[in-house]
Amino acid sequence: MEKVCVTGGAGFIGSNLVDRLVEKGFEVVIIDNLFTGKKENINKKAEFYKLDLRYDKEEIKKKLDGVKTIFHLAANPDVKSSSLNPKSQFDNNIVATYNILEIAKELGIKEFLFTSTSTVYGIARQIPTPEDYSPMLPISIYGASKLACEAMIIAYSYTYGIKSWIFRLANIIGRRATHGVLIDFIKKLRKNPNELEILGNGKQCKSYLYIEDCINAMLLAWKKANEQVNIFNIGNEDKIEVNEIAKIVCKELGLHPKFKYSSDEARGWVGDVPLMLLDITRIKKLGFKVRYNCKEAIKKAVIDCKN
């Protein structure tokens, strides 16, 4: 069996990726400090090591003997909180990425896959936004940290012969998610089923993709894209307003709360991008097909997350 490593393999996207890789017969090593990951997410057929990419570089090197490919998903993934603690983004995203790239270089690991984000584009003037959009001007600390990671990965690819795949993800939703608008709504409604606070004016309009579709796209690109650096948007083909999401969540939970808005602004928080839709033409040319549109994905994710 081919041996691969998934950093952040106890987290939301990482654990779903591990499950799929194990199902396909790969031998999987998980490196996770459980900063946001959970023990209950860990696939029992994978090797798990509670280690921290920020501090445990030499110990991690010992665990990656025989690994051919690194899927680097470990990060602080919360966009909303990134303005409150920029150092956490720097350490958990930029420093951690640098360290795992150094490990790949030193061990001769030649394949490196990375989950970036749509927020690297900032407030894009072109919607849908393609991978070659410029200039990329992220407005959140999270987006800035991911763009810095992209730059390092690209430089390591060309300098040290590491083939890389960079995935700029839309809002990924589904089982094991720990943050985002759906989780926010569900938590608020559990506390007060009679009122739902919506950040901003509720007119933010973005793309949401179900976790199953996300993993399908990542693995397809890994199999079929063979440039030295392969950059792909991964998202849905449509978008949906936050107000509509709130209605779907309430309907699925059987609730009829009053909606309360935090402001009249389009932006819900510092660093929020109120309009986002990615151009996924590039990944579709490889054969990718979205299975669930935004509304279908949200309904499935609410069912996943309310239990």
User: Angle formed by the axes of helices 181-191 and 294-306, to 10°?
Assistant: 50
Beta strand pairing call for 27-31 and 240-241: unpaired
- Residue whose tokens read 């017969």: 25
Query: Is residue 278 within 8 Å of 118, Cβ to Cβ?
Result: yes
Does 133 participate in catalysis according to the annotation?
no
In angstroms and rounded to an integer, the radius of gyration of the C-alpha atoms of the chain is 19
User: Catalytic pick from 142, 156, 208, 292?
Assistant: 142
How many C-beta neighbours within 10 Å does residue 242 have? 21
CA quadruple 290, 296, 301, 307: dihedral, nearest 10: -140
- Closest-CA residue to 175 (of 15, 66, 1): 15
- Catalogue the active-site residues: 142
